[in-house]
Amino acid sequence: MAATAKRPEIIDLSRSLRGVPQCEDYERMISGMMYNPNKPELLEARHQCRGLTADYNNLDTKAVPSDQIFDKRLELLRKLVGKVGDGTFVEPPFRPDYGCNISIGSNCFINWDLTVLDTSLVVIGDRVQIGTGVSIFSAGHDTSVLSRQKFVEFGHPVFIEDDCWIGGNVVILPGVRIGRGSTVGAGAVVTKDIPPYSVAVGSPARVKKTIQSVEEEEQDPNNPYRNLVREDR
């Protein structure tokens, strides 16, 4: 459902992002209130995103040395999304709606065919890995037919916290928060929050088990990963 008031914390967060079209309808949009997507500022933001997306997805890799592809992709990604940390790589094709409403942390790997309807903010933490064919939807519509005839809609933010693994073909719906260290199994449809350090599968996604936290793993002498040396890209 649409919200009835602006969310100051979401608006404040948006001010740290590159290229957002700050205006009344933008603030309503990212706050989850009904808004008109055809306002000129919003149309222009989506238009800009289409051009930057084309640049990203159509990079001529034959013209770029293989050892420079990572840096070139990151350079283009920083023009396309609102914020992205060091060490992050997104395999094309990548399909955002606004782009500027997306924040991606450091050392993330996102595989082919990520679609993000970033009507509201989509905040992805550090060291998140996302499989192929994933869709993240912050955009919502009321079931009222009249609302569609009036061409109004809303969006609720999506948060994916640090160290999550999102399996292939997962669908994440508006307003969801996936807690730190969680795994979402392939093909799941996430309709509600997932607690930290959980494994969730199915449609709708349900938590099947919890796992050790990072701190618990590091203290476990039987953990096979605790003594591995990280190899940076």
From CA 128, how far away is CA 119, in angstroms rounded? 21
Q: What proportion of the chain, given as a percentage, has pLDDT over 70?
A: 98
- Which residue of the set 9, 16, 44, 141 is catalytic? 141
Note whether 173 and 191 are within 8 A (CB): yes
From CA 226, how far away is CA 214, in angstroms rounded? 10
From CA 159, how far away is CA 228, in angstroms rounded? 29
From CA 127, how far away is CA 111, in angstroms rounded? 13
Tell me what the mean pLDDT of segment 75-82 comes to: 97
User: Which single residue is written with the structure tokens 């933490």?
Assistant: 125
Q: Identify whether 156 is a catalytic site residue.
A: no
Burial class (CB in 10 A: 0-12, 13-18, 19+), 169: middle
From CA 213, how far away is CA 112, in angstroms rounded? 28
For residue 8, CA distances in Å to 2, 13, 28, 138, 206 come to: 16, 9, 11, 18, 31
Closest CA to 33 of 67, 65, 10: 10
Note whether 114 and 97 are within 8 A (CB): no
pLDDT at 231: 65
Note whether 191 and 182 are within 8 A (CB): no
pLDDT at 227: 82
User: 185 pLDDT band (50/70/90 cuts)?
Assistant: very high
- Please check the confidence at residue 233 and state whether its pLDDT lies above 60: no
| CA angle (92 as vertex; 89, 97 as ends), nearest 5 | 100
Residue with the bigger pLDDT between 141 and 111: it is: 111
The per-residue pLDDT for range 82-133, each reduced to its tens digit, is 999 999 999 999 999 999 999 999 999 999 999 999 999 999 999 999 999 9
Give the CATH architecture of domain 8-219: 3 Solenoid (2.160)
pLDDT, averaged across the chain: 94
pTM of the predicted model, to two decimals? 0.93
Tokens (6 digits) for 49: 């995103």
193 membership: H or E segment, kind and range: none
pLDDT at 150: 73
Tokens (6 digits) for 189: 């449809």
Q: How many other CB atoms are found less than 10 A from the CB of residue 24?
A: 11
For residue 6, CA distances in Å to 31, 37, 142, 149, 230 come to: 5, 17, 18, 24, 43
